[in-house]
Amino acid sequence: MSISTHGPIDLIDYDEAVARFDPVFGIEVHVELGTKTKMFDSAPQVFGAEPNTAVSPTSLGLPGALPVVNGTAVEYAIRIGLALNCTIAETCRFARKNYFYPDVPKNFQTSQFDEPIAFDGYLDVELEDGTIFRVEIERAHMEEDAGKNTHVGGATGRIQGAEYSLVDYNRAGIPLVEIVTRPIEGGGARTPEIARAYVRSLRDIFRALEVSEARMERGNVRADVNLSLRATPESPLGTRSETKNVNSFRSVERAIRFEVSRQAALLAAGGVVVQETRHWHEDTGTTTAGRIKSDADDYRYFPEPDLLPIAPSREWVEEIRAGLPEMPVARRNRLQGDWAFADAEMRDVVNAGALDLIEATVAAGASPASARKWWMGELARVVKTTDGELEDLPITPVQVADLQGLVDSGALNDKLAKQVLEGVLAGEGSPQEVVTARGLGVVSDDGALLAAIDEALAAQPDVAEKIRGGKIAAVGSVVGGVMKATRGQADAGRVRALILEKLGVEG
Amino acid sequence: MSAESTDLTRLSAATLADKLTAGEVSSDEVTRAHLDRIAAVDPAVHAFLHICGRRALATARDVDARRAAGEELHPLAGVPIAVKDIIVTKGVPTTAGSRILEGWVPPYDATLVSKIKAARLPILGKTNMDEFAMGSSTEHSAFGPTHNPWDLDRIPGGSGGGSAAAVASYQAPLAIGTDTGGSIRQPGAVTGTVGVKPTYGSVSRYGLIALASSLDQAGPVTRTVLDSALLHELIGGHDPHDSTSIPEPLPPLVAAARQGALGDLTGVRVGVVTELNGDGYSDGVRARFSESLTLLQQAGAEIVEVSCPHFTYALGAYYLILPAEASSNLAKFDGMRFGLRVTPDGGDGLAATAERVMSATRGAGFGPEVKRRIILGTYALSAGYYDAYYGSAQKVRTLIQRDFAAAFEKADVLVSPTAPTTAFKLGEKLDDPLAMYLNDVATIPANLAGVPGMSVPNGLSDDGLPVGFQILAPAKADDRLYRVGAALEALLETRWGGPLLERAPELATAANSPVEATR
């Protein structure tokens, strides 16, 4: 085992690196399935429980304990396989991957080796500019998660230098599906963006399939990123590095950019890339060397004798296929058609994470255009100032639709509506409650308006003359006066009509 | 009434069950009698690693109270039992005969223990065994060998020598064994007891500390065929905690044993396996075997010769599959979560990393035979050797299964001597692993194919020591073992005028002055 510390690393500017070398990457994504119990036993799957309380003899690897396959986990794995256009195995087995590590309670991981449940698929990934890039999937297989080590006493929180380590087996045995791509070629300079979009697409699919909460920050979805460089697309594949546990979309992109620059510097200087696992450092945006990984790693795989082969019937697979929800890309296309958004508008909506919100707002009665106007306009501005996410704002799609309803009925004008929105965001209640509490209704009593109009006309007799003389555009200044007098609570259109009527002019 | 009826420990489980049901004796009396017997003879036999007297008596008194209250109880309720120490028992130390588990108290019960507890059989204690069931003599126990009650200088067989010796020396009427390559049947043969390895998957393995997952099977160790049937029916059946457990119910075993005891085997085809009856089997073993065949024939059975050519390769395949699976199953014994933990003293200036603690723990906690097999298995599974070793062994296994299938076309049961020789002397084969492994040559094929097997005592060899008769049946047809086994037992006992074990020498006891042993 060789451990290197954070030392200075030679880098080449990214643009220069991709100009000189052709990057090829691959991604292994692990997703924790959101089943009630673990992969091979009835211990509950809970997040944030006291250490070593969500365990059973099986997930602790106690002598004599045996595994039993979680049928729901198998169904979820098949859902994922089908969503990734994979072939579902007619029969497949679990295997033991033997290695000693304290967070692996049996000192072997029950996984799938040469017989994955799903294989030979692909995923079409949409990039920010709308380009579709096809990522080929080699396999998706089932396995169990390991426990979690906490290293205490060291400066870095890593095992080196720690005084002692604690192991929590609550996570041990949680069902995982690992999705392995084939080498992804042809990304060129866009390789980091493709990687990010791929992981993001997977996250969206896991959520759409309801197989996982897929919360990156909780480690529900974890990515290992392989990267190698070669001189040209015609050259043989170069030596790859494997950067472990890159656990946010942004980190996936950054880690690949960093590895491209690092490997390019090595190769440009006449050096070689070492086949090794590397650690990703979120804070510095760099990777450091971990374990040297050679093909001689010997996990002594053999078929798990405690489990029978899994043979999902074709009927069951078809039943699962028929029950699959609409995939994100198809849904996006359908909604874009329904809403008549332009391509650019739709992309902005998706990138802003507003798709679900707009869909819910439309479902609550707002027009697609007005829903988009609120979420991508006023609310997007609020989010920008707070560096948050739209879905975390303290306003619901139903409230946005209600607000728009008040505008549509004439009870609010745009200016007032923005004030109401502020009130809702400030936690003052529903739009109607804010209107009532703040006294923000549009003045719809013609009598009150006529009094205000009389005042405004009296204040600007020359303007009244101009209007009577046919300069209809001059009416704006009278409207302005009325609005000012009513503190903006008048319906400007109604005010205009009343002024013209009063002056006996056709609008 | 014969003299034995005055001694409760001499009665079969079936007889004890009848007396308990009839209210002639209490479970408290029966259990005490066995605990007294253990106290008297086990210092010499060393069948037990742990005795649970207080728990056993609590169960016994509970049974007596329930019976007095008129509660309907399991037929075996109140009949004491011993359990091999490889079976996990909640709150009772379980070592599998290894230092590495010394001091471990399991927090859960094996499924078969739950069944025993639900039926309210007092558990007397945990019996000695070769470490992790690796051995044929119980000499590989980390806690010292068990002695054969027929001759204390000899081995009781293994790995389940403790269970067999406990039953043979009247310390328990019933015991649980486990059989991975013969660990129930071979001890049965050399101690003059009945041992049954059920069909793979018919008794749950949940809570059985795994040696080789695809071969391990727990089963009964008793003095009579009927007692084995009673115990087998209690512990067998589907268990959702064991994925390899057979979903269908067991065939009727007690009924088969009762039918067999009538002594009529008309129409039953008994196949003699050519490959399991020749060179390597002692003269005495062969003589008793052919006498037993004659008895079966006289009872109406048709004797046919069958050949299972691939049985020749069984031992080789077994000693690849078993170590391979064992090397992985035993990986969990690393000092991290339970049992022994050895921390290197740091004298070499190196930190006590997890890796070094694991290494030191395994180095100190495992005995030489366990280490030998872990090394063998690790090698057999290594990249580049997998196909040649583990892969080939699995192919042999398939061929052996086919041999069985073909043989069972011609015969309803297959028979052979259980073990090639009688009990050898302690220490005699300890330094010769291959000679030790050859003890299981006749029993291993059944494990590789998953078919059930029984050993029935069928006489004494020229050296005055017991030998066993092995009966094998197709998977899920365990009832055939009981029919043929009970018939043979009845015919032999008629001939002998009583059970074979009555001819065993009396053991020296605290209450009894030593009687002259016929050594």
pLDDT at position A1:
35
Domain boundary, last residue among A412, A438, A464: A438
Q: What distance in Å separates the CA atoms of residue B380 and residue A298, rounded to the nearest whole number?
A: 12
Q: Is B429 a catalytic residue?
A: no
Strands B194-197 and B218-222: antiparallel
Tokens read off for B198 = 């059920």
Is B295 part of any domain?
yes
Q: Is B110 on the interface with A (CB under 8 A)?
A: yes
pLDDT in tens, chain A (507 residues): 333 444 567 889 999 999 999 999 999 999 999 999 999 999 999 888 999 999 999 999 999 999 999 999 999 999 999 999 999 999 999 999 999 999 999 999 999 999 999 999 999 998 888 889 999 999 999 999 999 998 888 766 666 777 888 999 999 999 999 999 999 999 999 999 999 999 999 999 999 999 999 998 889 999 999 999 999 999 999 999 999 989 899 999 999 999 999 999 999 999 999 999 999 998 899 999 987 765 557 899 999 999 999 999 999 999 999 999 998 888 888 999 999 999 889 988 988 889 999 999 999 999 999 999 999 999 999 888 877 789 889 999 999 999 999 998 888 888 889 989 999 999 999 999 998 888 887 766 777 788 888 888 888 888 888 888 888 888 888 888 888 888 777 888 888 888 888 888 876
Shared domain for B11 and B142, answered yes or no, is: yes
B209: left (phi over 0), alpha (psi -120 to 50) or beta: beta
In a domain? residue A291: no
**B215 to chain A: closest CA residue:** A305
Q: How far is CA B154 from CA B46, B191, B425, B465, B519, in A?
A: 13, 10, 4, 10, 11
Query: B382 and B407 share a domain?
Result: no
Q: Are strands B81-84 and B123-127 parallel, antiparallel or unpaired?
A: parallel
Q: What are phi and psi of B430, to 5 degrees?
A: -60, -30
Q: Do both B435 and B451 map to the same domain?
A: yes
Which of B:13-32 have CB within 8 Å of A?
Answer: none
Cβ of B383 within 8 Å of Cβ of A298? The answer is yes
Complete DSSP assignment for B351-399: ---HHHHHHHHHHHHS-HHHHHHHHHHHHHHSTTTTIIIIIHHHHHHHH
Kindly state the helix (H) or strand (E) to which residue B222 belongs, with its residue range.
strand B218-222
Interchain contact A311–B (C-beta under 8 A):
no
Contact A33, A173 (CB under 8 A): no
Residue A470: give its domain's CATH number.
1.10.10.410
Residue with tokens 């509506």: A417
Domain match, B301 and B239 both: yes
Give the whole-angstrom CA distance, residue B370 versus residue B133. Answer: 9
Query: A260: helix, coil or strand?
Result: helix
- Tokens standing for B17? 């069950």
Hey, what amino acid is at B380? A
* Token pair listed for B274: 């050519």
Q: Where are the alpha helices (DSSP H) in B236-353?
A: 253-260, 283-298, 314-329
Q: What's residue A5's pLDDT?
A: 41
B62 to A361, B65, B67, B315: CA distances (angstroms): 68, 5, 9, 47
Rounded distance between C-alpha atoms, residue B214 and residue B76, angstroms? 30
Shared domain check, A456 and A368: no
**In terms of domains, do A403 and A470 share one?**
no
Q: Are residues B402 and B383 in the same domain?
A: no
In a domain, B321, yes or no: no
What pLDDT score does A128 carry?
Answer: 82
Q: Is residue B4's pLDDT more than 80?
A: no
Q: How far apart are CA B278 and CA B307, in angstroms?
A: 13
Q: Tell which B residues from 117 to 156 touch A, by Cβ distance under 8 Å.
A: none
DSSP assignment, residue A37? Answer: B
Mean of per-residue pLDDT scores for chain B: 94
B517 domain residue, yes or no: no
- Contacts for A480-484: CB closer than 8 Å, 24+ residues apart: A481/A455, A481/A456, A482/A449, A482/A452, A482/A453, A482/A456
What b/e readout covers B375-405, taking b as 16+ CB neighbours within 10 angstroms? ebbbebbeeebbeebbebbbebbebbbebbe
For residues B400 and B315, give the distance between their C-alpha atoms in angstroms, rounded to a whole number. 11
* Residue A245 covered by a domain: no
Facing residue for B332 by CB, picked from A105, A165, A298: A105
For residue A370, what pLDDT is reported?
A: 95
Question: Per the domain annotation, does A2 fall within a domain?
Answer: no
Q: Please, which pLDDT band fits residue B275 given cuts at 50, 70 and 90?
A: very high
Please indicate, yes or no, whether residues A57 and A81 belong to a single structural domain of this protein.
yes
> Can you give the pLDDT at residue A10?
81
d(CA B467, CA B288): 8
Q: Note whether A373 and A483 are same-domain residues.
A: no
Inter-chain touch A66–B331, beta carbons under 8 Å: no
| A92 and A43 co-located in one domain | yes
| Beta strands A164-168 and A148-152, pairing class | antiparallel
CA-CA distance, A115 to A110, in Å (whole number)?
13
Asked if A474 has any chain B CB less than 8 Å from its own CB, the reply is no
Per cent of chain B over pLDDT 70 is: 97
Whether the per-residue pLDDT at B515 is higher than 50: the answer is no
Instruction: Kindly state whether residues B230 and B366 are assigned to the same domain.
Output: no
Question: Looking at the structure, do residues A366 and A480 belong to the same domain, yes or no?
Answer: no
Is there a contact between A64 and B378 if contact means CB atoms under 8 Å apart?
A: no
* Same domain flag for A35 and A90: yes
Residues A169, A49 share a domain? yes
Domain boundary among A320, A354, A380: A320
Domain containing B99: what range?
A: 3-312+397-503
CA-based torsion, B97, B101, B104, B110: positive or negative: negative
Respond yes or no: is residue B137 known to be catalytic: no
Helix (H/G/I), strand (E/B), else coil: A353: coil
| Partners of residue A95 in chain B, C-beta under 8 Å | none
Range of the domain at A495: 446-503
Please, are residues B466 and B150 in contact by the beta-carbon 8 Å criterion? yes
Between CA A494 and CA B427 the distance in angstroms is 112
3-state secondary structure of A34: coil
Identify whether residues A303 and A214 lie together within a single domain.
yes
Tell me which chain B residues have a C-beta less than 8 angstroms from the C-beta of A98: 327-328, 331, 381
B61 and B121 part of one domain: yes
- Residues A211 and A98 placed together within one structural domain of the fold: yes
Q: Do B167 and B249 lie in a common domain?
A: yes
C-beta separation of B227 from B454 below 8 A: no
Domain membership of residue B22 (yes or no) is yes
Q: Does a structural domain hold residue B226?
A: yes
Burial label, A429 (beta-carbon count in 10 A; 0-12, 13-18, 19+): middle
Residue A235: is the preceding peptide bond cis (ω within 30°)?
A: no
Query: For position A7, what pLDDT does the model report?
Result: 52
**B117 catalytic, yes or no?**
no
Q: Is B327 near chain A, with CB under 8 Å?
A: yes
Nearest to B30 by CA among B230, B169, B173: B173
Per DSSP (E only), the strands in B85-215 are 123-127, 174-178, 194-197
**Residues B418 and B186 sit within 8 Å (Cβ to Cβ):** yes
Count of structural domains, chain A: 3
Return d(Cα A260, Cα A13) in angstroms, integer: 9
pLDDT at A392: 86
* Closest-CA distance of chain B to residue A60, Å: 8
Among B96, B107, B381, the residue with its CB nearest the CB of A302 is B381
**Do B42 and B144 fall into the same domain?**
yes
- Does A61 map to a domain? yes
Contact of A152 with chain B, judged by CB distance below 8 Å, is answered with no
From chain A, the residues in CB contact with B391 under 8 A are none
Burial class (CB in 10 A: 0-12, 13-18, 19+), A355: buried
Which among A348, A338, A397, A347 has a CA at the least distance from the CA of A371? A397
Which residue from A156, A385, A403, A114 is spatially nearest to A281, judged by alpha carbons?
A156
Q: d(Cα B321, Cα B216) in Å, to the nearest integer?
A: 12
**Structural domain includes residue A51:** yes
Task: Give the three-state DSSP class for B227.
Answer: helix
Select from B93, B167, B156, B168 the least CA-distant residue to B129. B156
Q: How does A431-447 read in b/e, with b if 16+ C-beta sit within 10 Å?
A: beebbeeeebebbeeee
Residue B319 lies in a domain: no
Q: pLDDT tens, B294-311?
A: 999 999 999 999 999 999
Cβ atoms of A311 and A196 within 8 Å: the answer is no
Average pLDDT over residues B405-434: 95
Q: Looking at the structure, do residues A473 and A408 belong to the same domain, yes or no?
A: no
Burial of B423 (0-12, 13-18, 19+ CB in 10 A): buried
> Is residue B156 a part of any domain in this protein?
yes
The arithmetic mean of pLDDT across residues B238-264, rounded, is 97
CB contact under 8 A, A305 and B106: no
Q: What is the CA radius of gyration of chain A?
A: 30
User: Which of the residues B98, B137, B169, B183 is marked catalytic?
Assistant: B183
Contact residues, chain B, for A100 at CB < 8 Å = 331, 334, 355, 358
In terms of domains, do B307 and B348 share one? no
- The domain total for chain B is 2
Burial tier of B93 (Cβ tally within 10 Å: 0-12, 13-18, 19+): middle
Same domain, residue pair B424 and B386: no
- Cβ-Cβ contacts under 8 Å, A302 against chain B: 324-325, 328, 381, 386, 390
CATH number at residue B65: 3.90.1300.10
Regarding whether B282 and B155 lie in a shared domain, the answer is yes
Residues B518 and B505 sit within 8 Å (Cβ to Cβ)? yes
Same domain, yes or no: A434 and A490: no
The 8-class DSSP code of residue A183 comes to: P
With respect to residue B510, please indicate whether it lies within any of the assigned structural domains: no
